[in-house]
Amino acid sequence: MSKRFALVFGILCFCTFLYAGDAAAFVDLGFSSDGATYMFGQYGSTDTQYQAYADIYTIDVKSNTFVKDGVFSIKPSAKTIGKSGISVYNTLYNKNKDYILQYKPEPVSLADTLYIRSDSNAITDEIIFQDFERSNASKQIYYHIKLVPWFSDKTETSKSSFFISIEKQDENKNLLQKDVAGTPDIKRTGVIKYAIEKIMCDKSNNNLVFIVEKTIRTKDGLNIRYMAETISIK
């Protein structure tokens, strides 16, 4: 993998992902210096009761699983009514600062950000990058990324899952390599939409993280939350 990619779909931007309603804001804490772990957070306030919440997640990149004792949360409750999401997030971060800093996470730079969804309402069918480092005059190398969802229905109680297909192809669309990120066996309740929000790599260009926005239907309306899927590319 190389960070010198041509971005075919999506436009890089510098905005914070804020939405109307009960929608979390995403925080990129970043990869550890060795690329072995990735950390991110989210925060917000419930739409009806104005209860703030915050989460911080630590992910083992190779296994794409949470690191033991590496998930921290402040749930919405009567104690967080009227507080801002960012203040609750800062409280959570400071409480667990020693744990977080042992990984020395560094937010992903723009140079290592491969894709950002430019339209929050759009779901891109395919994201394509050209790998200039491995391409030459006789062969062009491209990466084709697709999020493949499954839904039993789109209600509060329905189940869903997804996986991300990562294909390496030449200019004639001949398949050179295929990888899959995500865990399609995990079924989530109430999620009615998945969309890749960001794709980022670590400084070695060997580890990728896909930030996925999920829209959840509840009795109070729609919630937006974030999750991350990681993979090490050979």
Task: Give the rounded distance of the alpha carbon of 54 from its chain centre.
Answer: 16
- How do the domains of the chain map onto residue ranges? 5-232
Question: What pTM does this model have?
Answer: 0.87
Q: What pLDDT is recorded for position 3?
A: 47
Whether the predicted pLDDT of 196 surpasses 50: yes
- State residue 102 phi and psi, 5-degree precision: -65, -25
The 8-class DSSP code of residue 109 comes to: P
**Contact between residue 100 and residue 107 where contact means Cβ atoms under 8 Å apart:** no
Q: What percent of the chain has pLDDT over 90?
A: 75
Report residue 15's pLDDT band, with 50, 70 and 90 as the boundaries: very low
49-75: pLDDT as tens digits: 899 999 999 999 999 999 999 999 999
Phi-psi category of residue 8: left, alpha or beta, with phi > 0 → left and psi -120 to 50 → alpha: alpha
| Cα–Cα distance, 228 to 210 (Å, whole number) | 6
Locus of tokens 């009227």: 82
Average pLDDT of the residues in 141-166: 96
30-56: pLDDT as tens digits: 999 999 999 999 999 998 889 999 999
Query: And the tokens for 180?
Result: 């899959």
Mean pLDDT check: name the lowest of 19-28, 95-104, 209-218.
19-28
Q: What pLDDT is recorded for position 18?
A: 38
Phi-psi category of residue 69: left, alpha or beta, with phi > 0 → left and psi -120 to 50 → alpha: left
Whether the predicted pLDDT of 107 surpasses 70: yes
Q: What pLDDT is recorded for position 4?
A: 45
Radius of gyration for the chain, computed over Cα atoms and rounded to the nearest angstrom? 18
Q: What is the mean pLDDT of the chain?
A: 89
Q: What pLDDT is recorded for position 26?
A: 98
Q: What pLDDT is recorded for position 122?
A: 67
**Contact between residue 180 and residue 228 where contact means Cβ atoms under 8 Å apart:** no
Whether the predicted pLDDT of 227 surpasses 80: yes
79-102: pLDDT as tens digits: 999 999 999 999 999 999 999 999
Task: Give the rounded distance of the alpha carbon of 183 from its chain centre.
Answer: 14
| Cα–Cα distance, 78 to 74 (Å, whole number) | 12
Report residue 180's pLDDT band, with 50, 70 and 90 as the boundaries: very high
User: What DSSP letter does each residue of 58-108 carry, written as one string?
Assistant: EEETTTTEEEEEEEEEE---GGGBT--HHHHHHHHHHHTHHHHHTT--BPP
Length of the chain: 234
Average pLDDT of the residues in 207-218: 96
Average pLDDT of the residues in 185-206: 95
